[in-house]
Copies of this chain bind each other. A is one copy, B any other.
């Protein structure tokens, strides 16, 4: 009888779950792997979409929960959340004894996962390394590359970067991004589910009719521009109101600036009572992608625009510095934090309509590929730079 290899995956946020859901399924269902699902940080909090509950509703069993969000209203909160995460993950790893730990992408609190695994001599696999963005994510992502023992990257250019940073070629795999797997599944369907009504997924604000087309908005605060979050979100709010097109707006992640972003949205709603905007906290990934696929354009700074929308061919208006440097498709118009630029770019996208899909971030089989590599890779936690 063979013992299954224990794969500890740490999920810290709603968006990270969406992004690796198919990998989680493939690990759970793989005959030689055992999934240990560890949920931490904002993924446990109601006001950030309670990803833990979404996972359970999707049929996953949560192995351990780590409550570590420190709220400070300034940048110390990110540091403390990460530090507290390490303190607590050390217990969890000591108790669960995973054979491999998997960390996703580049949110600041994922550093907890990476350091804890590295210091406890547990091999670390990193999904979505090697990309380029602005912001603190850029530092986090590459630092994790230097702590990780296995690299499961989304694009061939990402692989090149990881190799240049001195990682061994036999430990870097281009799997594509698992978020594209969901987009692929949604793309395959004939049309949007006729019974799908986004307003069934809660949220607040008016419920404009969507039949004549709608926009989706998703804008996160940028940590290195802390203090400007409110000003930035207000430009977008005014632009969207001015456009007078129905808009479905998704609440931002927890981040140092989220007070500014959240307060900006709250005050705007209070004062302007926008008639054509509905605000969501969260939606299951598949439904969210259906919504995106059916939309006229995505506005904001989410990586969903760069990744899933390029695959689906949805036009996007990408605001500000957050996605700077990331590979992007023909579907993107970049603008700065300026209501006039935003309005103009949205109108340009409306005039253009849908784009042809591109496969920059994968072909739709990343989840299974990741599970297979985790199953077959012989990993150790000791490594050395290649030059």
A165 to chain B, nearest CB (A): 5
Q: Give Cα A249–Cα B117 distance, bound, in whole angstroms.
A: 33
Residue of B69, B94, B118, B142 touching A71 (CB-CB under 8 A): B69
Residue of B84, B94, B139, B146 touching A70 (CB-CB under 8 A): B84
A73 touches B91 (CB 8 A): no
Q: Give Cα A306–Cα B118 distance, bound, in whole angstroms.
A: 25
Residue of B75, B95, B143, B165 touching A64 (CB-CB under 8 A): B95
- A45 beta carbon closer than 8 Å to chain B: yes
Looking at A72, A78, A263, the one whose CB has the most chain B CB atoms below 10 A away is A72
As a 0/1 sequence over residues 260 to 273 of chain A, the CB contacts with chain B under 8 angstroms (1 = contact) are 00010010001000
Q: How many residues of A contact B (CB 8 A)?
A: 76
- A30 beta carbon closer than 8 Å to chain B: no
B84 touches A74 (CB 8 A): no
Stretch at the interface among A358-366, A370-378, A379-387: A379-387
A135 to chain B, nearest CB (A): 8
- A134 beta carbon closer than 8 Å to chain B: yes
- A337 beta carbon closer than 8 Å to chain B: no
Q: Give Cα A381–Cα B226 distance, bound, in whole angstroms.
A: 13
Chain A positions 40-83 with a Cβ under 8 Å from a chain B Cβ: 44-47, 64-80, 82-83
| Main SS class of interface, A | helix
Q: Closest residue to A118 on the B side, CB-wise?
A: B139
Residue of B75, B80, B143, B147 touching A86 (CB-CB under 8 A): B80
A47 touches B259 (CB 8 A): yes
As a 0/1 sequence over residues 130 to 144 of chain A, the CB contacts with chain B under 8 angstroms (1 = contact) are 001011101110111
Residue of B139, B161, B166, B382 touching A134 (CB-CB under 8 A): B382
Supplied contacts A146-B146, A160-B387, 11 more A-B pairs, CB within 8 Å: A67-B74, A67-B77, A69-B72, A70-B87, A79-B120, A83-B83, A83-B84, A118-B139, A134-B384, A138-B383, A138-B384
- A192 beta carbon closer than 8 Å to chain B: no
- A90 beta carbon closer than 8 Å to chain B: yes
